[in-house]
Amino acid sequence: MRKQIAAANWKMNLNADEAHQLLTKILHTKLALKPGQEIIFAVPFPYISMAVKKCAEHNNVFVAAQNCSDKTSGAYTGETSAIMLQSVGVQYVIIGHSERREYFNETNEVLAKKIDQCLSHGLKPLFCCGEPLSIREEGKEKEFVAEQLKQSLYHLTADQLQQIVIAYEPIWAIGTGKTATTQQAQDMHAFIRQQIELKYGHHIAQTISILYGGSVKAANAKDLFSQPDVDGGLVGGASLNAEEFITIIQSLD
């Protein structure tokens, strides 16, 4: 059985009080997670310790960082290493979010190194892939995503790959209010799983959770999550509203 995951990406939002209140409100709700369901909060770095402490009181609720360094340690002012994150109780790290690819020039090669850092230090990468609008309009989205997978993941062993969660996030749907249709999401998820199968075999492909991201909200989560290859969502804007995110969690299949 694959894990079903509702992951919140708070990005660079909320002050400390707001972050504490939002987390408290969500965690004080009776969420009734079924076996195999997980919630992940990808919070800004300053709130990680607070979030780890609060999430540790709940089963299957984890904290993610939104990024980590591709270096192990040393003179890299402003960077945060995987070792540091692991030492404060983080379990997941978002790697390759399109905002990091676009605004911080993160290439598939750098992302492969970040994934290695995570895996070497007991952290699970939540690896984001997805095409820009221009590529979809040319009908080349599958080649584009296949290349992202190949360049950042295919150096991993099968055991390592099983530590990864993939998030398909079409860039044209992130923060735009424009969601992929359930069919577009399912088609790409099935394609990603097929690519993993070609490289790592059927069994492994069936165990990898693939989340959809891109304007997921309470109103569309159930339809998206009901697709056979959609194993939950990576949620930006709607995860900043407790009621919206709780409904999204309750929409996990």
- Using CB under 6 A as the criterion, which residues of the chain lie in contact with ligand PEP when the complex forms? 9, 11, 169, 174-175, 213-216, 234-238
Taking the least distance from each CB to ligand PEP, the nearer of 125 and 213 is: 213
Q: Please state the closest distance from residue 130 (CB atom) to ligand PEP, in A.
A: 9
Options 97, 121, 141, 189, the catalytic residue: 97
114 is in an annotated binding site: no
Three-class SS of residue 22?
helix
Min dist CB 168 to ligand PEP, Å, is 10
**15 annotated as ligand-binding:** no
| Min CB(166)–ligand PEP separation in Å | 13
Residue 52: phi and psi, rounded to 5, are: -60, -45
86 by DSSP, 3-state: which?
Answer: helix
For 240-247, which contacts have Cβ atoms below 8 Å and span 24 or more sequence positions?
Answer: 240/10, 240/13, 240/14, 240/22, 242/22, 242/25, 242/26, 242/29, 243/218, 244/217, 244/218, 245/6, 245/8, 245/26, 246/26, 246/29, 246/31, 247/218, 247/221
Let me know: does 215 contact 176? Beta carbons within 8 Å.
yes
Check if 97 is active-site.
Answer: yes
Residue 215 assigned to a binding site:
yes
- Point out which residues pair with 235 in neighbouring strands: 8
> CA-to-CA distance for 36 and 112, rounded, in angstroms?
27
48 versus 205: smaller Cβ distance to ligand PEP:
48
Nearer to ligand PEP, 9 or 67 (CB): 9
Q: Is 132 exposed, middle or buried (0-12, 13-18, 19+ CB in 10 A)?
A: middle
Considering 38, 106, 141, 169, which one is annotated as catalytic?
169
13 is in an annotated binding site: no
Is 213 annotated in a binding site? The answer is no
Smallest distance from the beta carbon of 72 to ligand PEP, in angstroms?
Answer: 27
Strands (E), the chain: 4-9, 37-42, 61-65, 92-95, 124-129, 165-168, 210-213, 232-235
Nearer to ligand PEP, 9 or 209 (CB): 9
197 tagged catalytic: no
**Token pair for 241:** 């509203």
172 is in an annotated binding site: no
Between 110 and 173, name the residue whose CB sits nearer to ligand PEP.
Answer: 173
* Contact criterion met (CB below 8 Å) for 166 and 192: yes
Which of the residues are catalytic? 97, 169
Which residue positions form the known binding site? 9-11, 175, 215, 236-237
Which residue positions form the known binding site for substrate? 9-11, 175, 215, 236-237
